Structure 1
Amino acid sequence: MKKSTFLHLRFPFSFYLLPVFIFGVAILHPTNWGRLGLVFFILHFLLYPASNGYNSYFDRDEGSIGGLEHPPATTKDLYKWALILDALALMLGWLVDWKFSVMLLMYGLASKAYSHPLVRLKRRPIWGWLAVGFFQGYFTFLMTVYGVAEIELFGLLSWTWQCPAMLSTLLLLGSYPMTQIYQHGEDQQRGDITLSLRLGVKGTFYFTGLFFLISSLGFFFYFKETFTIQIGGYFMVLLLPVCVYFLSWFMKVWKDESQADFRHTMRLNFISAFMLNLFFLILLWLT
């Protein structure tokens, strides 16, 4: 594997996608730790890096991308390894069962549709936004639950799983446009009309802020009704650092839109992921 390939697979970026997995585990309280470890490895060390590499290969970005400030040029080696990791994910997924492997395949196909030139959902602001929010939120939550827990597939239709799955997507729908905010110039040159590009820099902040407020209230009432009001309160308190950073960054951007850059975006992503991961681990411990 070439060094450029390893960098484009962006293994550390899986940290930002980890909250949905830990959320599912916190609700489940699994006892089969071997199965949990297998699902965790498949998602975060095979499926997600494969998607990162595949998207990087077809995007061929010259500017910063998620988790990589100065991406090297892509090569055919990256395409090959993205497919290898995908294949390994499907094969290991079969150890859980064939239905889980099919779910992995569906996620992989959706991620490829986002960047492949024949479909390229990235050029369709609404469809691309919905696809990312659905598959990285709702679908991944249910895939985690099914993979980790030994339940029937139709058991996922229970409100026990549907409500947190929908809340996961609501959170992703708000945060995803913010991850595109520093790529407006390159996306526009390439003809990729993302939702963030349509909204504009300040519009993206308003949009994300609104979705963040709605999803936070949704999570609060979910934790209040499912667990206790104290759990809901802990959630809101642990999100305060995210709110403070978001608002302070927005004030900078309001005066100077060039502040909507890669480094500020990655800091927001890290703070958000860290606080969410911390809360879901606390939830697992307390309940």
Structure 2
Amino acid sequence: MTIRTILTCLLNESSATRLTEAGSTLAERFDAHLVGQHTMEAIVLYPGIVMPAAGPTFETFNTAQREEAEAVEGIFRSVTERRGVKAEWREVHADATASADRMVDSARAVDLVLMGQPDDAYDKEEQKFALDRVIRDGGRPVLVIPEGGLGASVGARVVMGHAGTRESARAAFDMLPLLQPGAEIHLVHVGDEKDEMRDTAMTELSAALSRHGHKVTMTHRAPHGKSVSEVLLREAGELGADMIVSGAYGHSRTYAFFLGATTGRLIREAKVPVLFSA
């Protein structure tokens, strides 16, 4: 399967150029249709309660939203016209629901979703949860683009965290369209435990990926007091990886809150794009 439709969720003007450039690069590579979507958020009165921003009471809010939407649209159109890619602009209104819900709806009809790392300096309150929601509930792979952008050789040398979970299995095959021919794939399992069944599964996955023409290596790393995300980030840095691949949110929200989440740390700290599947 190849990638034919790419959704780029453009939350604000700050990250619009970076994400549109990344989306255009992938659209060129796959001859894909690039959708740039900016979602007009609703006013949040209380946590979990939203309402549409309409009427004179919300005039200032609406004006600011309109100005930002126009700025983001201008950036998207400018970049895609310069790059000559097939592009579609969407301005979506959240109305009486959360803006993340609209992004999730759109994500479910595409091959790949591009989003930026959260930015507390620019993301509005509701937008801070958008990436989490799209990864968890969108049902499609999400490529998170860091501040440094996509990179010229993305998909040539990849570090994948192998966890033996459903999410990890999905990530392994969701990444295939993004790989360069003959890519280096480094399967990395982090843990002290010995598990013959897991090791067998890792070997079988390695063989399956190799049949696509890629060079696959398997590595076990003891954490030595480090989190899984720290080990994967270090491994990616040492190998010069251009992308990290991981299953996302393999535990409940409660588990992640109390024990820390690999997904959350990769989202915040990765210097290269990270592909998540949930």
When normalised by structure 2's length, the TM-score is: 0.36
Larger helix share, 1 or 2: 1
When normalised by structure 1's length, the TM-score is: 0.35
